[in-house]
Amino acid sequence: MLAQGQELVADAFAGRVAAASRYLVGIWADWPSGRPRLLGAAAGLDCVLSASILVGDHRLFVGTIIATETAAYADPLLWSERQYQALERSAPFSATSGGRPLPSATSCPTL
């Protein structure tokens, strides 16, 4: 999961950069498995291929997670309404107060 500030990485892997140059955008290291790992991401998963399933005209790849990494300090990068968006932060949920109402449609973009 990309973090805010990694818009250029998102654009590169969305096809705005030649496939051979995609890993030149962002800061990369290796997982212990040797596969590439994007540094600074909100979350990362290293997987091994477990299955490949034909679903209609698509192929679904199923991976077994062998390592994870999360960054508590990184906010996720979201794409909504043809632009990058940020999460709106609010006070933490309180179980003793019965919680809080959901944000209105104007304050919570549709994903």
Q: Return the ∠ at Cα 107 (arms to 104 and 109), rounded to 5°.
A: 100
How many residues make up the chain in this entry? 111
CA dihedral 13, 17, 20, 26 (to 10 degrees): -60
pLDDT tens-place string over residues 66-91:
999 998 888 999 998 899 988 777 65
Mean pLDDT of 45-63: 96
The pTM is what?
Answer: 0.70
pLDDT for 86: 80
Q: Which residues contact 105 (CB under 8 A, 6 or more apart)?
A: none
Residue 77 has what pLDDT? 92
Q: Is the pLDDT of residue 99 over 60?
A: no
Q: Work out the pLDDT band at 108, boundaries 50, 70, 90.
A: very low
Residues 6+ apart with CB under 8 A from 48: 33, 63, 64, 66
